[in-house]
Structure 1
Amino acid sequence: MTTATDDPAAATLNPAARWLALAGLALIGATWPLWTGTSSFPQVPLLSALRPTPLLVDWTLLAGLIAAWIVVLWRPAPQRVGRAALLVAATTLGLLILLNQHRLQPWAWQFLIVALLIGSATPAVALAGWRWLAVSIYFWSALSKLDVTFFHSHGPFLLEGLFRALGSSNALGLWSEAARSRLAAAVPLVELTVALMLAIPQTRLFGLVAAIAMHLVLLLALGPFGHDHQAGVLLWNLFFIGQNLLLFARPAIPCPARRDQPAGSRLAWLATCVAIALPALEPFGGWDHWPGWAVYASRPERVYVSVAEADADRLPDHLQPWLEPAGPFEPWRQLRIDRWSLSAVGAPIYPQDRFAVGAALAVATGTGRPDVRIAWDSAADRFTGMRTSQVLTGTEAVEAFARRYRFNAQPRWSPAESVRRDAANAP
């Protein structure tokens, strides 16, 4: 067994694995209802075949995931027990994500990849792969923000939170719209600069300082003195600060030649390279936004869910706070599923349009069975911000729309739905 005494890579990997496990436990705690499946917010499995899966499966997998993180804290990689626990963590996390796409939070995808990498590869290979994954997150995240919609929406939003935290809530309003857009463009440019500096050995320490400064600014903008975002968002930024200190503060340790690496290391390296490359497909619809590190990007498709005004009173109490008032002579009321998600599970809604469609269908087939409408906007053009729109009215139209997706866009069966279907299929 490799120990920190005889392997400098192991000396770095040991605390880094503990930091990963500690952050994993903290983030699960911060988004606890998301993992138990007991919140009011609908679940939408990634595969339609998983829709009937009982919640007991979620609880069993969650118990395995928590136990695995605890073992890693106790016996971190590269110890054999710690490596095995990381593989268990990656497996249970992956299965939990399959049961509900909402769990594919950016941090969960990152932790899954890193857990597989550390659990399968030698310390030197694991550290190299982890570093390149971190660089790729900054790189792809920056590219996803280099478009006109970010410069006019999420960019100024982040800047507004920063000014608010600094005690100048109205400062951004004194700038012209063109000046605000130019200032917002600095956000992805800084992120891209961080990625490039971390990737080059000669500038790595400068990149480390810049990355830490960037995350501290984000903590200000998104923290309690800024936009007061959920704990999970803040914890992920704190994780990056600790991760970067552990990974980039010391000179990189050379990896052995590929022919000298065990098969597990070669496979883990290949899988990491694939995960790093796949976000290139995200702008073309070939990869999901969050696994493509399009975080706080403004281009993704948008789905607005509305409920018929005549059916609004029949909705359960937990949905009433998220219904917008109806406009004059307007027979529909928008249901703010984004705010519902934040309240119910403590995490942002998964930004894929198919997930929002699944949530709309869960509302349409749930208590009161209201008539629903969705207004769907395509991804925005990177240079003009233009979108195409489509409106689908009624549950049947929404269900037909849901069938066009490669992955599942139908909600998971509730316990009551499972009982009803079992009774219907009984002889």
Structure 2
Amino acid sequence: MLKNIMEEIYKDRIRKITRIVSVCLIIQLLITYKLWVMAWRTVPAVPLFSFLPVNPGNTIDFFLLTLLFIFCFILVLLPSSRKLFLLIPLLFFVLILEDSSRLQPWVYLYSLMFLYLFFQSQNNANVLFAWKIILSSVYIWSGIQKLNPHFASEMFPWLGDFTGAGKYFERHHWFAYTVASLESLAGIGLWIPKLRKFCCLIIFGLHLFILISLGPLGHNWNHVVWPWNIAFAWLVFDLFFRNDLVEVKLSLKKMYVASLIFIAGIIPALNLFGKTDHFLSAGYYSSVASMAVFYFPQTEKDKLPLTTNPHLYFDQHAKLGILMMDNWAIEELNVPVYPEDRTHIDLAKKICPCMEDQQGSGIRLLVKKRYSSEKTEIEIPCSVLLK
């Protein structure tokens, strides 16, 4: 009897969370609408797999985006529509094949949540357990990813500018390391009953910090992460802050356990050795990913799209123009370029044909070592990129 009651409570909780995630997806798709249809943007698409270029065309792009909106609206009204939990991730996958910049962390994490809901729909406890694992692993690994000198000296002082203590943070790196450690430890503490609510409060504070830093009171930047932060704060409240009267027995099958270990453990761990992608490993705002710019002769400035103008800088001595590639993407698409060297290089390959001087234009990558302040600049001209 009690088990049946708890099953109903869990089912109601899953429906509520599904509605929250669906609403946030709708908002984030609206914020990033240019990202999903090539006709609405000037930033070139970079296929997920360079050996498999996918170009379905603007009509198909628009149709798939429309389906995403419709399916999310249906889930808001009918959050138990099981087929949609598979169809939404599949639609995202098709769109991501065309452009890897669509593989944003929120797309990846929401898709994982829907997939576990689809494959474990007969066991509400398994669904909630999987969601808890995914959620807590985000904080654990995100904190670990930030334990590097680049986060301490570059990213954290920038994030903390709104406090007026940005310069202080630049000189005193211990503060950044403390915040990163707190995030990781709070993710672990979510599983310790006596510490759970305290750790939830720490996580709420971190989300508030990010919202203020990136919101209108701060840098007013990367707007798409605002609803994502609110959604994850709510998920922490609903999945961890609230206490359950009793735990429903889990049915841990081998594939279920193996998938959770792979997603929440192996993929993020391998990123510490450069073997997996940052966005799939909770490497958000860790400042470890390489920085990329496209350089070109000043005389060829007019060959670039007009949308690049606010993100161009000029070296009068070298007579070179510099395009900040990530700034261009964020301004136009409301998302950064997928933060991997191969993606930036492939994006540069799309820009190179615009340039007449193939030797005098190309990409510069500022590659960072994770555990030291050392940075290496790599320059690849278009003449090499287009071979």
Question: What does residue 86 of structure 1 align with?
Answer: 85
Question: What does residue 43 of structure 1 align with?
Answer: 45
| Distance in 2 separating the partners of 1:176 and 1:256 | 47
1:135-150 equivalence runs, <5 A: 135-150=136-151
Summarize deviations over 1:280-314 as a string: whole Å, max 9, x none: 11122211111111000122223221112232233
Structure 1's 25 and 369: CA in aligned 2 closer, same or farther, altered over 3 A? Answer: farther
Summarize deviations over 1:130-173 as a string: whole Å, max 9, x none: 01101000011111110111111001111113x1xxxxx3x443
1:5-16 equivalence runs, <5 A: 7-16=8-17
Which runs of 5 or more structure 2 residues have no equivalent in the other structure?
Answer: none
Question: What does residue 288 of structure 1 align with?
Answer: 277
Contact kept, 8 Å, 1:117 with 1:272, in 2: the verdict is no
Contact kept, 8 Å, 1:42 with 1:359, in 2: the verdict is yes
Contact kept, 8 Å, 1:136 with 1:276, in 2: the verdict is yes
SS state of the match for residue 230, structure 2? helix
SS state of the match for residue 243, structure 2? coil
2:192 equivalent to 1:200: yes
Q: How many residues align?
A: 377
Shift of 1:26: 0.9
Question: What does residue 72 of structure 2 align with?
Answer: 69
Structure 1's 270 and 307: CA in aligned 2 closer, same or farther, altered over 3 A? Answer: same
Structure 1's 34 and 316: CA in aligned 2 closer, same or farther, altered over 3 A? Answer: closer
Contact kept, 8 Å, 2:189 with 2:195, in 1: the verdict is yes
Shift of 1:239: 1.0
Question: What does residue 205 of structure 2 align with?
Answer: 213
| Distance in 1 separating the partners of 2:210 and 2:178 | 13
Structure 1's 270 and 59: CA in aligned 2 closer, same or farther, altered over 3 A? Answer: farther
Shift of 1:63: 2.2
| Distance in 2 separating the partners of 1:4 and 1:239 | 27
1:90-109 equivalence runs, <5 A: 90-109=89-108
2:115 equivalent to 1:116: yes
| Distance in 2 separating the partners of 1:309 and 1:247 | 54
1:197-276 equivalence runs, <5 A: 197-251=189-243, 254-258=247-251, 267-276=255-264
| Distance in 1 separating the partners of 2:64 and 2:113 | 19
TM-score (norm: length of structure 2) = 0.90
Moved more, 21-30 or 88-97: 88-97
| Distance in 2 separating the partners of 1:130 and 1:359 | 34
Structure 1's 381 and 217: CA in aligned 2 closer, same or farther, altered over 3 A? Answer: closer
Summarize deviations over 1:77-98 as a string: whole Å, max 9, x none: xx3xx22111111111122122
Contact kept, 8 Å, 2:312 with 2:323, in 1: the verdict is yes
TM-score (norm: length of structure 1) = 0.82
Shift of 1:390: 2.2
SS state of the match for residue 158, structure 2? helix
Which runs of 5 or more structure 1 residues have no equivalent in the other structure?
Answer: 164-168, 401-427
2:380 equivalent to 1:397: no
Identity of aligned residues (%): 23
Contact kept, 8 Å, 1:381 with 1:387, in 2: the verdict is no
Question: What does residue 362 of structure 2 align with?
Answer: 373
| Distance in 1 separating the partners of 2:84 and 2:231 | 20
Structure 1's 157 and 24: CA in aligned 2 closer, same or farther, altered over 3 A? Answer: same
| Distance in 2 separating the partners of 1:369 and 1:53 | 29
Structure 1's 131 and 369: CA in aligned 2 closer, same or farther, altered over 3 A? Answer: farther
Question: What does residue 308 of structure 1 align with?
Answer: 297
Over aligned residues, Cα RMSD in angstroms? 2.3
2:172 equivalent to 1:183: no
Question: What does residue 19 of structure 1 align with?
Answer: 20
Question: What does residue 335 of structure 2 align with?
Answer: 347
Summarize deviations over 1:22-54 as a string: whole Å, max 9, x none: 111111111111112221111101123234432
Question: Given residue 219 of structure 2, which amino acid in structure 1 is its aligned partner?
Answer: H
Structure 1's 15 and 381: CA in aligned 2 closer, same or farther, altered over 3 A? Answer: closer
